A and B are shown apart, each in its own frame.
Chain A
Amino acid sequence: MSYYFSIIGNNDAPLYELEIGTYHQSGDGTPHLPKEIHQLEQFIVNSSLDILQDIQFKNNAIFTKNLDNFYGYQIFSYLTQGNAKFIILTDLKSHDESLRQFLIEINELYVKTLLNPFYTVNNPITSSGFDTRVRLLARKYL
């Protein structure tokens, strides 16, 4: 099972990307996304924003499961207060709760990043510390 995680800014630009495999079920965290998904993952995530932007004004949920589906890959989303989006693309079914927890903790990391006076909103997140923490969270939840 593999995951593609992306943080999308409120201008639809990808701020952070991570391709990671599961650590459960004797996985070692190596992603095994097929080639066509690997090529299109950014675009699949981007295309799901069509639906996300429609439903975000229809209900109060900030976590949406099965937002979209493409080539059998599901999309999960999390909306932040600043309208940034955390999107996960995965072939994993029925693992919603751990994904939700993962995204909630990512949100905390993201808010800390926003508090950094040297970071401007919608700039790519290049901090290696952020990356390490995200990977740790992925190891814990995914």
Chain B
Amino acid sequence: MLTTKKLSKASPLSELKRSRFEKYSVILSKAKEVRLVDLKSNPGLFNPQAFPSGRLIYHFSDHNDDSETLFLHDFEPFRKTFLVVGIMQWTDRLTDDKVRESRNNLKKLFPNVVSHFIIAFDAPSSATTKVDGVHLINQDKSNLVTAVCEISSRFLAEFSTYASSYQHVTLRSPGSIIGSKRPTPGLSLMAKQRRRISGSFDLNVEKSKKYKTKGRRLKLYANFYLLAGNLRNSLSNFCEAIFYLKSVNDYLWLASALDGLSTCILLLARVDTAFQLPGFVSTLLDSNSSNGRDSVLMSPFSSPASSPRPSLQLPVSISSSIQASSSVQLSPLPLSSIWEMIHRIFAKTFEFYQSTFLQGEDCVPLIVFCECNLRFIGLFTSVCIERELNRSVINHTVYGTCLSRKRIPEDIGDFDHVEFSGIFSQIFSDRFEELSTEQKCTIYDFMISTCDKLRLFRKKSLLVNGFIQLMLSTGLENYRYIYTNAELREVLDSHCQVYGINAAEFPSFRNEPNVLQKKMLFEVFEFCQQVSFLEGVVKYGSILLADFPTLLTDGEQQTIYKGVREDMSKTEAKDIRYWDQQVLQNIEFRNESNDYLVQNELSDALITVRNPFAFDIEISGLQVCSADDTFSLTTQLNSRRQNLISIQYNVPILLRPRTTVSVPIFLVPDSSGKLNLVGIMASICGCDTQLFKTMDDQSNEDDNAGNRMKCKSISLKNTLDVVKQPMSKTRVWSVNVIYEQPLLKLVEVKLSNKWILLLEGECKKFDITLKNYSHVEINNMVSTFIDSTIEPLNQLLTNKNLSPNEVYEIEYYLIKKKPFQILNKKEMQYIKGNNSFNLAMEIWGKRGVKEAKLILEYSHKRKEDTFNEYDFTRSITIPVNVSVYPSVELVGCDIIPLSSRTKVSTNNHGDCWTYLEKMTSQSYKMSDFCLLALDFLNSWTEEMEVTVQCLLTGSTNADFQEQNGPIVPLPEDSFNMRLNLRSKKSVRVLIPIKRMDFTEEMLNQRIPSLRNKQFIYDSRTPLAEQVFIKHAFWYRDELLKRIRACWKIPDKVENSVYAGRFGTIDLRSIRFSSKMVSILEVEKIGLNIQLLDTQEKEIDSDAVQLNTFYTLRVILKNRNDTAVFGMLRHLPVCRGSGTPLEKKVLFNGVLQKSIGKELKPGESRQFDLGIVFLEKGEYEWGALFDEMEKISGKMAIKDQHLQREQLKVKVC
């Protein structure tokens, strides 16, 4: 309560530092209350002994605003500064002269102030001064209270002198001093009022003037007494003033007197002093406002009717009543009655003040009216908080001590809203604009805290908003220094909270932002900028950018961004979050068809980020984050210039306004296992580095449905509750990381000119040097060879009409006959880290090869690994440049039979005949062999030496066909020949082949598939052809197991760089016809015819005699696995004449007959037929065996076996 305080001012002297001045001010303010009983008496008006229980209460201030309120000093003297205390620090150099000079300066500086004193702090106890009005305070401050008492005593004496100067002054209303701005009501209204006054109570003008003057003076003195602590005199003066002022309807001063009376009553209650108001005051207060003016005019008088001239008796009655009340021993009123009384007094005060609004000069100054309202509302609020007027309310009002609680209890918010609203509207009326900015600020300040105490948060926010508007419109930045950052933060945060924005937490809110919130935040942001509350600029700007991008215009966004960026670096605020939490849109791996990464290796990824704002954003320190902290991950930017890999570190990514950009990066996982990526860490636009996640699209809808606001929810509390709910699920990118893998590089291919020239069939060895550049060993390596023939061959294989033997042939070339061979295959299975390795290679000159590649697929595999479900391999391709030239080619083949009668001519001296002679000289017959005729063509430019070797039986070596070079060692019974073949010449080579005797079972085996393809039953090819194909295949297979041909460029060839080179001739182009097969095979049923004489001696068939008895013996041999049964038929043919055979040959028996018992496997049987030739000529005697089922009566022929060599007989 301002009126209770003795306004005093503390000023620094002698260049005292600000901090020290503030320290002394605090010390001094502790002694702000002085009891009058402690003061020295003085003979003046304000003798403290007159009311010993009174107190002087100082209101220390370090600034002087007297000039602003000068016109109010007569009306409300408590606004004046009465006392100035100069504060200085004691030093040894401080002499009396200096102190005196300081005091004089103080007087010059504040000439209108009643008393001037100097207090020197930190003086030693021995220090003294003789200068009047100077007090020395010891370092222990023990004499501070004494000094203040002395000052107070002295002040009261001087104040008495000051007050006495008002004895004869005519007091004027403030409006008449400054000139009223309010419209003066018309004369008619004034006259009406006068008329009404005069109608009720007749006072002549002179008396009225006298009463008015007296009343005003009494009111002024009452204020003086109040200031001097003499409450009793103050009360009586106020009451007396009320009487006089009421009687002349001087409403302005009357209201002021009532205002002062309320203060006086409160202070009396504080000092527990009993009092009694005169009857007319009570009557005045009791009168209701509707007929107030008329009734209160009479109310001071107990009975107007009983006293026709009561006015003459008034002073006596008032004085006596007050005197009586003071002399009679009364008990103090209960506080509840005091509050009721004060309440009524204020109601009257406002009523009277309002009635002055149209009274021109006597109109109440707006600041007076507002402050009166503020005083009441302050007390009203305190009473509402405490639920009653009690000691703590009084102490809070007088001393500013704390109440038992900060705000009105939430459950008891039922104070009189209407009354508050009425006072509120009185303060913030349409005249509010007339107040000065400082006054407005003070009112805003007070009302904001009041609304906060009363939990009228929206109202408070309205005032905060008005205050912000005021600050923005007037540029009153200095006002900001009254508040600390923490206070500003609290006020603004609670301001935001009223509008559903939880500024202190993140996220601030989740509901749809609305224009009101945006407008409010934008104003708060601008306010923070204006008052340089940097933390606020960043905070509220961030909320705007984060939650209101759709409501902000581009210009606003850019303004806010600029402001936030500028202040971000200046403020110490931490945890500045970037405004778009959905900046990360996607993480995409760019592995080609692989869904895993490799430990410690770069893998390509794309991060899609967006910029929804109207300004550029920069992303720096981009790091991809895994869910597991132990799974560390390195992120590097890929600048991708012209498709070159280029790694960049710490280069910010710039995103243009409203764009979505895919940023190429490299990820390097530092360990292996399951990697779960949850988002990216980045610092965007200078904000703190934070983790950005992406919402999982699928889970969003459910959450939204749950969070939808219900109609019945009526408060913003629900909005804030929603904010506290956890966010919906975030997306996780899972990828497997396999453990570290080796890296192999090609060091060198050891070839001259890096090119190989090969003749067809030639083999060459060379080395390839590789190095494992990683520290991880290679323990798994697979080699693949690719040459230019593979593709056409594969193409051929797709033809489904190929016969199985052709398929086998292609497969053979693809799988068995590879162009490369690694000679040290076992060694290459294990290559240690950082080691070099030599690969010994052999390359074979395959026809048609133009280019060849060696592909090595390698990896590191762990035995204990259960995770590696991905068969990771890395491959290295080693190209080998090859040219293959044709050498000796096989251009044709045939098989020529040999019969048992074949004779080697003396002209035939070839190796073949020599070999045959050699073999027939052993136990072999000529008919056991046949001749394989191979036509070789030398396609090379130089003479070639061709060697052909043939084993007697097929080699048991499985790799025989794949091997190159001559057969080593060559068995004794093998055929071997050599010949020279000139360039571009062909030659036919005859090779004796022992005929092959295979069982049906073996010949009917399926043709194998080297690719392990499933057997498909062939229904299109005729069965007989299928049988032939199989037979031909197995015979050819056997043949290729026996025979091998090689070429060599003889050393003797002059001037040849190729001399000495050798190779193998590819014989796989041999194909069998059915005739060739039949020549090659040994018949299953052997039919041999012999012509015997009567002594059973075989005779020469060229010298058979006429009319001589011979025996024709057929020897039947069963070479099958099963017993056979059938008919033997003789087929005699006579060449030449047309005479029937019956007339040329006589035979004893039948030409066709059953063989009788079945012929068991391996068994031979003879069938003799006696014959006589009757005519000369040449005969051919053949035999046929019809194989039949051994079922009686069934004559179906199962198979026919023809005799291979017919008996040729020449009868002479």
| Chain A residues close to B by CB (< 8 Å) | 10-14, 17, 36, 39-40, 42-44, 46-51, 53-55, 68-72, 82-83, 121-124
Contact = CB atoms under 8 A, between A and B. Distances in A.
Contact of A46 (B424, B499, B712, B719): B499
Given A36-B433, A40-B466, A10 B516 contact: no
Contacts of B16: none
A100 B719 CA distance: 31
B588 to A, nearest CB: 35
11 contacts: A10-B714, A36-B433, A47-B462, A49-B458, A50-B457, A68-B425, A69-B421, A69-B425, A82-B711, A83-B714, A121-B711
Interface stretch (B507-515, B595-603, B893-901, B1137-1145): B507-515
The 7 closest A-B pairs by CB, nearest first: A72-B430, A69-B425, A47-B462, A13-B514, A47-B458, A50-B458, A47-B459
B585 to A, nearest CB: 27
A43 B461 contact: yes
Contacts of A14: 514-516
A40 B465 contact: yes
Interface string B1170-1206: 0000000000000000000000000000000000000
B357 to A, nearest CB: 13
A113 to B, nearest CB: 14
Contacts of B433: 36, 71
A72 B429 contact: yes
A11 B713 contact: yes
Contacts of B713: 10-11
A43 B520 contact: yes
Given A11-B718, A36-B469, A122-B709, A70 B514 contact: no
Nearest to B457: A50
Given A12-B715, A14-B516, A49-B458, 20 more contacts: A10-B711, A10-B713, A10-B714, A11-B511, A11-B709, A11-B716, A13-B500, A17-B515, A36-B466, A43-B466, A46-B499, A47-B459, A50-B457, A54-B413, A54-B417, A70-B424, A71-B432, A71-B433, A122-B512, A124-B515
A46 B511 CA distance: 18
Given A69-B425, A70-B428, A51 B417 contact: yes
B350 to A, nearest CB: 15
Contacts of B430: 71-72
Contact of A44 (B462, B512, B515, B711): B462
A51 B457 CA distance: 11
B417 A55 contact: yes
Given A11-B511, A11-B713, A53-B714, A43 B465 contact: yes
B403 interface: no
Contacts of B512: 13, 122-123
Contacts of B466: 36, 40, 43
B462 A43 contact: yes
Contacts of B425: 68-70
B524 to A, nearest CB: 12
Interface residues of B, number: 39
Contacts of B465: 40, 43
A49 B516 CA distance: 14
* Residue from B457, B465, B511 whose CB has the most chain A CB atoms within 10 Å: B465
B876 interface: no
Given A11-B500, A13-B516, A46 B458 contact: yes
Contacts of B1068: none
B20 interface: no
Nearest to B514: A13
Nearest to A114: B711
Nearest to B464: A43
A46 B500 contact: no
Contacts of A121: 709, 711
Contact of A70 (B462, B709, B716): B462
A27 B428 CA distance: 28
B456 interface: yes
Nearest to B420: A51
Nearest to A122: B709
Nearest to B472: A39
B403 to A, nearest CB: 21
B440 to A, nearest CB: 11
Interface in B693-723: 709, 711-716, 718-719
B519 interface: yes
A51 B714 contact: no
A71 B443 CA distance: 14
Contacts of A83: 711-712, 714
Contacts of B499: 12, 46
Interface string B795-821: 000000000000000000000000000
Given A69-B425, A72-B429, A46 B709 contact: no
Interface string B458-497: 1101100110010000000000000000000000000000
Interface in B382-419: 413-414, 417
A47 B432 CA distance: 18
Interface in B717-744: 718-719
A13 B518 CA distance: 11
A39 B469 contact: yes
* Residue from A40, A47, A54 whose CB has the most chain B CB atoms within 10 Å: A47
Nearest to B430: A72
B334 to A, nearest CB: 30
A123 B709 CA distance: 11
Nearest to A53: B714
A124 B514 contact: yes
B254 to A, nearest CB: 26
Nearest to A124: B514
Contacts of B517: 13
A65 B516 CA distance: 24
Contacts of B520: 43
Contacts of A72: 429-430
Contact of B516 (A46, A68, A69, A82): A46
* Residue from B432, B516, B712 whose CB has the most chain A CB atoms within 10 Å: B516
Contact of B421 (A13, A49, A68): A68
A12 B500 contact: yes
B428 A71 contact: yes
B461 A71 contact: no
B769 to A, nearest CB: 74
Contacts of A71: 428-430, 432-433
Interface string B416-450: 01000100110011101100000000000000000
Contacts of A48: 458
A103 B461 CA distance: 27
A123 B512 CA distance: 8
A6 to B, nearest CB: 9
A42 B714 contact: no
Interface string B739-778: 0000000000000000000000000000000000000000
Nearest to B425: A69
Contacts of B469: 36, 39-40
B456 A50 contact: yes
A69 B413 CA distance: 20
A82 B712 CA distance: 7
A63 B500 CA distance: 26
A117 to B, nearest CB: 15
A132 to B, nearest CB: 20
* Residue from A49, A50, A69 whose CB has the most chain B CB atoms within 10 Å: A50
Contacts of A36: 433, 466, 469
Interface in B1044-1102: none
A42 B461 CA distance: 11
Given A14-B514, A70-B428, A42 B421 contact: no
Contacts of B716: 11-12
A32 to B, nearest CB: 14
Given A10-B714, A11-B716, A69-B421, A46 B429 contact: no
B421 A46 contact: no
Nearest to B426: A69
A71 B719 CA distance: 30
